Structure 1
Amino acid sequence: MLGISVYLQERIEEEKIRRYYVAGFRSLFTSLHIPEEDASAYRTKLQLLGSIASSLDMELIADISTASMEKLNLDWNSAETVLDWGLTGLRIDYGIEDDVIIRLSQKMKVALNASTLTKEQLERLIEAGLRTTHTEVWHNFYPRPETGLSLSDFLAKNLLFQTHGLKVQAFIPGDRNLRGPLYQGLPTLEQHRMYGTFAAFTELKAYNVDKILIGDPDVTDEALMQLKDSTKTITLRAQPYGELAEAHHLLEKGTHNRPDRARDVIRSEESRMSGMFHDVEVKPFNCIERNEGSITIDNDLYMRYKGEIQITRRNLPQDNKVNVIGQIVPEDVPLLNYIEGSEHFRVIWV
């Protein structure tokens, strides 16, 4: 499941939420760290957000603490009141008693904090009656660079939680209107801080993460298109070299990697099979060093390979028989690892 974050410090925009709903998003997350002077305004905003979520049949999970409960004139004995406001669950932080967590899991979705949940506590909760079908484990996002999780620790925790029958959630960064005060993205994994939103999503999906939410408030139209189309193709953003020609248009339309997956390059199956370059002259042009993510076409000097379009998976040397016609943007280069044999992919030129 895909989701977005909506922060109550900002204006609640139903049109913006609907934009994501149309793209296939079905989860909303908000944080209830409420300033003392704004408690009543936050309650009103939360209820508005809940009304929008209910109208779209989207889940709404709120990160809440005991202090936030008090500011909303609630306590853990009356926490289920938030269901009447359109929320579907609560993300519960460290320090809440086991019996409260178990009771809430019988009435709503409960998200436990992956960073503080231990194997011993989890097994104790399950043994005491935790309703695992209503319970998920959510990772944090990390605003400060260098503080995100390592991949090895992340996978080890996920294995523990999923082995016990719980779904796992993680955050990926947005690529527009990043959240302050640092504006450095809000990923769970540190390595995703420099990834594009779709590249981070694709990697988490490959690691069998059940629910993926964008931590930052927004993404560009290009990133949203990538996410929307993710069930049928891998969309890569790239910069063209020279004027757009037939090779560029073929990639824009979409093509398949050959079924026999090459080590060094992604090979467009249609570029040669279609015969579109058979009677066309492909003169040597921009025969430069091929960095990882270079988009190339074999020129006339490659004889029967003329017209084959490739994307390099690693750095390759300059070759007079190969024209470099574009470059995948750095944020999308990690996606090259996930284009398997026979996989469909396309390029949008930016």
Structure 2
Amino acid sequence: MLGFSVYLSSPITEKVQARIERFAKSGFTGVFTSLNLPEDDPAVLLDRLAALGQQCQSLNLELTVDISTRAQKRTGLNLTQPEKIAELGVARLRMDEGISMKEIADLSQSIGIALNASTLSDEDVQTLQADQANFANIEAWHNYYPRKNTGLGEEWFQERNIWLHEHGIQVTAFVPGDRGLRGPVYAGLPSLESARYQHPLAAALDLQQLDVDQIDIGDQNLLQDTLAQFDAYFDHSVLLLHLLTNSTLPKYMQDGNLYLHQRPDVARDVVRLVEGRALNQETIEPANILPRKRGAVTLDNKLALRYQGELEIVKRDLPADPTVNVLGYIQANELDLLEHCGPGQAIQLVF
């Protein structure tokens, strides 16, 4: 389950609509926006929300809107009329400050609700139960944290997610984008502080390991290559990596696009690619005998004897080896993805 963000500080132009369509075509199913940003003009927010909601409906995207008591006053949006909110194309309301559990319980009968995953208490859950809230319509979403050093820590975060799951509540959290970072801070919009400068896909895969059900891109955009990596991984279970090289490649690699697989027995220091030796049909002379930095893609030469043709991606810095040629390097911003290469993982190398 993947979502992305579209903020209402600017009109929903054709350019914005094209971006939304790109995400939808790449397998994203949800959109997040907010009515709580103080810099936004309240006079235009509902018109822009309606335009966004209309496109979300046309693309079968679920629209979640962050709202608070203050936002209601600024926009005139009335929570006692959820049917009119739904007419704007809104599928879910993320509840921020000032909205009571009684109001939330009532709203949950007719519209999706996202509670604040970071602040929800046992008492809140008990109140919702007493007020006969419809828990089938209730999720919990963590905050994102624009300011550096204010994001959540992993241990507390996972404990909180396990607690929410024990109450039957699914969890959403945010990872930063890598293009079009939102101001005024421009430091990404992650839930976890450790994700702030990570590759967005690596940050998303970390969240999956910490008991998160849905992942949302907090910032407004991803680089086209990054969007392709999300599509490859979540739609096709393929880890797409970009190789930078000036070396002479073996013939089977020269089409610039190669599908390989990690061995089922995962090595500590390198990703061993099953197909390497089987694909090789030539004698490999020693060349580019260099220190093997993290992210290096290497090919064993003829001095490796029966290991000639062994193809690997280096996960930690290793010294030069006369039996190993360095072909090139995975892009620096993608190195975190190597930690998510498990047994049998399909890998697409693009040069």
Fold-level match, TM-score > 0.5?
yes
Q: Shift of the alpha carbon at 1:283?
A: 1.9
The answer on whether the counterparts of 2:158 and 2:211 sit within 8 Å (CA) in structure 1 is: no
The corresponding residue for 2:271 is 266
Q: How does 1:66-81 map to 2 (within 5 A)?
A: 66-81=69-84
Q: Is the 8 A contact 2:164 2:171 kept in 1?
A: yes
Q: 1:90 to 1:299 in 2, by over 3 A?
A: same
Aligned to 2:348: 346
Residue 304 (structure 2) aligned to one of 299, 302, 305 = 302
SS in structure 2 at match of 1:90 = strand
State whether structure 2 residue 23 is matched by structure 1 residue 20: yes
- The corresponding residue for 2:222 is 219
User: Taking structure 2 as the reference length, what is the TM-score of the superposition?
Assistant: 0.93
Structure 1 residues 217 and 34, CA, compared in 2 at 3 Å: closer, same or farther?
Answer: closer
Shift of 1:292: 2.1
Show CA shifts across 1:28-84 (max 9, x none).
Answer: 110102659932311111111111111112110110111211222233323442111
The answer to whether the 8 A contact 1:112-1:136 is kept is yes
> Gapped runs of 5+ residues in structure 2?
none
**Aligned residue type for 2:188:** G
Equivalent-residue separation in structure 1 for 2:130 and 2:244 (angstroms): 55
Report the equivalent of 2:8: 8
Contact 1:241/1:324 (8 A) holds in 2: no
- Unaligned 5+ runs, structure 1: none
Instruction: Within 5 Å, give how 1:189-208 maps onto structure 2.
Output: 189-208=192-211
Is contact 2:82–2:110 with CA below 8 Å preserved after alignment?
no
Alignment of 1:282-301 (within 5 A): 282-301=284-303
Q: Deviations over 1:137-164 (max 9, x none)?
A: 1011111121111111111111011111
TM-score, normalising length from structure 1?
A: 0.93
Structure 2 letter corresponding to 1:298? D
For residue 124 of structure 1, report the CA deviation from its aligned partner. 3.2
Residues 127 and 290 of structure 1, relative CA distance in 2, 3 Å threshold: farther
Q: For 1:170, what is the secondary structure of its paired residue?
A: strand
Report the 3-state secondary structure (helix = DSSP H, G, I; strand = E; otherwise coil) of the residue aligned with 2:146: coil
* CA distance in 1: counterparts of 2:196 and 2:334, whole angstroms: 12
Indicate how the Cα distance of structure 1 residues 126 and 249 shifts in structure 2: closer, same or farther if over 3 A, else same: farther
Question: 1:145 matched to which residue of 2?
Answer: 148
Distance 1:233 1:201 in 2: 15
Paired with 2:275 and 2:90, the residues of 1 have a C-alpha distance of 48
> 2 CA distance for matches of 1:247 and 1:118?
57
Tell me the matched-pair count.
Answer: 346
Check conservation: 1:94, 1:116, Cα contact below 8 A: no
Could you say if the C-alpha distance between residues 37 and 255 of structure 1 is closer, same or farther in structure 2, counting changes exceeding 3 Å? closer
1:77-112 C-alpha deviation (Å, 9 max, x unpaired) = 234421111111110013321110101111111001
User: In the TM superposition, what is the alpha-carbon distance from 1:179 to its structure 2 partner?
Assistant: 1.2
Partner of 1:41, secondary structure, is helix
Residue aligned with 2:196, SS: helix
Cα deviations by residue, 1:290-309 (Å, 9 ceiling, x for unpaired) = 22222111111111111111
Give secondary structure in 1 for the equivalent of 2:19.
Answer: helix
Match of 1:85 among 77, 84, 88: 88
Distance 1:85 1:180 in 2: 26
- Letter aligned with residue 77 of structure 2: L
Could you tell me how far 1:241 is from its partner in structure 2? 4.1
Q: Please, what is the CA RMSD of the aligned residues?
A: 1.9
* Worse overlay, 230-239 or 19-28: 230-239
- Displacement of 1:176: 1.1
Partner residue in 1 for 2:186: 183
